[in-house]
Structure 1
């Protein structure tokens, strides 16, 4: 996949859309740049998890996990679901999973070295 080329003859609306998209992409990358948030997303790739499950998987306190989930929710990366007193989270769409596939390939796979 080739990236589009910026040219001098781009319209003002094309430039504005590019800036808007760059802002959205930057916010997305900032949201996943924290180790705790990245690990939460990694765990959610395999399916919905409760806050308690995430605490156990991350060996983290509830307050820390909730803070990171709040940021991910604010950025639209996760969606909560309440069942009684338990809150479950899942990925909001495929974007985090697609990025995590690339991160895994580059940093975690046996071929990554």
Structure 2
């Protein structure tokens, strides 16, 4: 990898880390590591009020980290980027190895994210607003 590629990669990684820099956004992403969930389930699982949950989901969508789909009046969210699942897994192993927010809940093997979730998330570049100019 040449220096220009390393610079671009470091800028994209820094933008991703900036998106992850809020505890509620991290909670939402940890909860979504198992797969798609409706907003109501996320709010219940994480004990986050409607307004802050909407704000965090809006930021995660704008940053291209989650995708939403609507079925009637219910909105479902899922992680949109494969590399994000790897970052979440590493953070969970480092900071909450025995947490119920581990993918699969408390009874699951420590830190494992199912391959199906990784396979279903697409790897793609960051949205333009998160990219810095080289």
TM over 0.5: yes
Q: Which structure features the higher share of helix residues? A: 1
Deviation at 1:17, TM superposition (A): 3.3
Please report the TM-score for the alignment, with normalisation by the length of structure 1.
Answer: 0.78
Q: Which has the higher contact order (CA 8 A, sep 6+)?
A: 2
Please say which structure displays the higher CA radius of gyration.
1
RMSD: 1.8
Find the partner of 1:32 among 20, 25, 33: 20
Please report the TM-score for the alignment, with normalisation by the length of structure 2.
Answer: 0.67
Structure 1 runs of 4+ with >4 Å offset: none
Per the alignment, residue 79 of structure 1 pairs with: 67
Deviation at 1:40, TM superposition (A): 0.2
After TM superposition, the structure 1 stretch with the greater mean CA deviation from structure 2, 87-96 or 17-26, is: 17-26
After TM superposition, the structure 1 stretch with the greater mean CA deviation from structure 2, 54-63 or 35-44, is: 54-63
Consecutive unaligned residues in structure 1, runs of 5 or more? 5-13
Aligned length: 99
Distance 2:26 2:90 in 1: 13
